[in-house]
Amino acid sequence: MSISDNLKAFKMELDPIWVKLIAVSKTKPAEKIREAYDTGHRAFGENIVQEMVEKQAGLPADIEWHMIGHLQTNKVKYIAPFIHMVHSVDSLKLLKEIDKQALKNKRVIDCLFQVHIADEDTKFGFYFDELVEVLRSEEFSLMKNIRITGLMGIATNTDNQNHVREDFYELATLFKGIKQSFFRKSPHFKELSMGMTQDYKLAIEQGSTMVRIGSAIFGGR
């Protein structure tokens, strides 16, 4: 199937249930993004700053760029002028830098806290108590140029469906708790970015509001 057919199928599946599709275009050339853009799609995800910056420069300005990979503090300045959302905030230091660069660009940047839910040690993200510590910190309360719009997580890479389901359930439960405790009055804290090509159905079943789909749209990498 073509990129256009793939996108059409996802939209038919996701639009009626209000789940947003992030088309993950990492490693794919700009022409492929253009092809998706021409079908009307606007939200794209990348995980490497340089790659995103190069693609952004040559593509229409109304594309929403989503950073979904680990972001180094010293690279925030390159994406701060245009980034739509950072899904992968995994430290207070990074959040402070996003706040600082957003101010420089006279913007407020939407951010998700990445939470560690998978079994593997290698995945980035906050553990629950670290996240609570950040949320309670004075430094966090002083940041005016970031807006926390929810949480993001990556499930364990396993064929065991129950295990993946439990990972997503854990994140969804955490989301509700954090919302109750820290964002009760913030209508913007509403996004749960979870689910990729292999596991997005389970993620949606557990309450995902944004799925990040790469290979099922653009083909394997």
Ligand X SMILES: *Cc1c(COP(=O)(O)O)cnc(C)c1O
- For residues 116 and 212, which CB has a smaller minimum distance to ligand X in the complex? 212
Question: Which residues have CB under 8 Å from 207's CB, separation 6+?
Answer: 168, 172, 175, 192
What gap in Å lies between CA 171 and CA 165, rounded to an integer?
10
Among 68, 71, 112, 172, binds ligand X (CB under 6 A): 68
Q: Rounded to the nearest whole angstrom, what is the least distance from the CB of residue 56 to ligand X in the complex?
A: 18
27 touching ligand X, by CB under 6 A = no
Name the segment binding ligand X (CB under 6 A); options: 52-60, 90-98, 158-166, 207-215.
207-215
Question: Is residue 85 near ligand X by the rule CB under 6 A?
Answer: no
What are 161's two structure tokens?
């469906």
68 or 143: CB nearest ligand X: 68
Per CB under 6 A, the segment of 28-36, 140-148, 179-187, 194-202 that binds ligand X is 194-202
In angstroms, what is the minimal distance from the CB of 96 to ligand X? 22
Query: Which of 41, 55, 123, 212 contacts ligand X by CB under 6 A?
Result: 212
Q: Does residue number 213 form part of the binding site for ligand X (CB under 6 A)?
A: yes
Among 7, 19, 24, 80, indicate the residue that binds ligand X (CB under 6 A). Answer: 24
Residue 3 interacts with ligand X (CB under 6 A): yes or no: no
Q: Is 69 in the site for ligand X (CB under 6 A)?
A: yes
How many whole angstroms separate alpha carbon 176 and alpha carbon 182?
10
Taking CB under 6 A as the rule, does residue 154 contact ligand X? yes
Among 8, 11, 26, 75, binds ligand X (CB under 6 A): 26
**Residue 46: strand pairing partners:** 67
Residues lying near ligand X in the complex (CB under 6 A) are found at 24, 26, 47, 68-69, 154, 196-198, 212-216
